[in-house]
Amino acid sequence: MPSGRARAWRRWLHRCLLILVLGCIGLLTTLVLIDLTVSLTTRDAITETLDQVEPIEVALILGTSRGPRGKPNRFYQARIEAAAALYHSGRVRGILVSGDNATRYYNEPISMQRDLMALGVPGEHVTLDYAGFRTLDSMVRAKEVFGLDQVLVVSQRFHAGRAIFLARRFGLDARGFAAADPPHTGFLRVRAREILARAAAVLDLLTGQGPRFLGARETVRLQEQPQHDLPASGSARPQQQPEDQADERQQQDHGNPQHLGQGASAALDDLDEGIDHDDQV
């Protein structure tokens, strides 16, 4: 028969295993509830059909890598094509591209502007946000730095839902235009990544985490509005004169903020923006 010490050891081990199992169940339940909450509260604000998009002044493209070593990132390309379609259809008058510029050799906003221009979008109607390090940063800066009250988020549906969820918590009226989901991109991997990113976003909200960098107020450059059209509510500031645009571009080119700190969920930042070496989300 086992000794009393051995029986006590087994009871302790069983309790530890029970606590571990219950903890895992609780964690998984929390993750699923957060994921469902984000999806259910934002799904009606996202459309995948261009004809269903109500006109709005500014579309916001959430950045991701253009693709490593020349390999195209199909998530990135779908976002660029969706934003260009919005502009050419007259649904938006300007595009705000928000992304990371971690080094002088990696600059998501510049890449997005160039690719939009290649699709016929005038460069003067593309405004660059160099400090969109995370989705939270992009949404807060759209309101606090670029003066927007309304915005149309352009990304894949799963990412747009998280962005809208965050935007509402910071007083920004956001809707979404879902870019196409590339086929054969590993559904389970993408979903697992997004579940963790949504949990990280909620953690940031609970801990009061803000953007890494705000800086001076800037203006979203817009296509001229026909004089018989009335300005939309919640719009960007009025169109700048050409000399003002040149001054702003010069300031941006010489004042791009770099990474300036870590958030409460910094360990999940790569999940938040999809940095890996395949298709990135």
The predicted structure's pLDDT at residue 105: 79
Average confidence (pLDDT) over 249-259: 42
**What percentage of the chain reaches a pLDDT higher than 70?**
78
Structure tokens at 147: 């003066």
Residues 6+ apart with CB under 8 A from 101: 107, 108, 109, 110, 130, 256, 257, 258
The predicted structure's pLDDT at residue 6: 79
Answer yes or no: is pLDDT of 272 > 60.
no
Average confidence (pLDDT) over 124-130: 96
**Binning pLDDT at 50, 70 and 90, where does residue 2 land?**
low
Compute the distance between CA of residue 125 and CA of residue 274 in angstroms, rounded to an integer.
27
Compute the distance between CA of residue 242 and CA of residue 263 in angstroms, rounded to an integer.
37
Tens-digit pLDDT profile for residues 17-41: 999 999 999 999 999 999 999 999 9
Compute the distance between CA of residue 157 and CA of residue 206 in angstroms, rounded to an integer.
24
Tens-digit pLDDT profile for residues 201-224: 999 999 999 999 888 999 999 998
Which of 96-100, 231-235, 272-276 is predicted most confidently? Answer: 96-100
The predicted structure's pLDDT at residue 195: 96
Average confidence (pLDDT) over 230-247: 44
The predicted structure's pLDDT at residue 1: 52
Choice among 104-108, 117-121, 197-201, 255-259 with the minimum mean pLDDT: 255-259
Verdict on whether the full-model pTM lies above 0.75? yes
**What percentage of the chain reaches a pLDDT higher than 90?**
62
Query: Residue 260's closest CA among 83, 90, 53, 102?
Result: 102
Enter the DSSP assignment of 128.
Answer: E
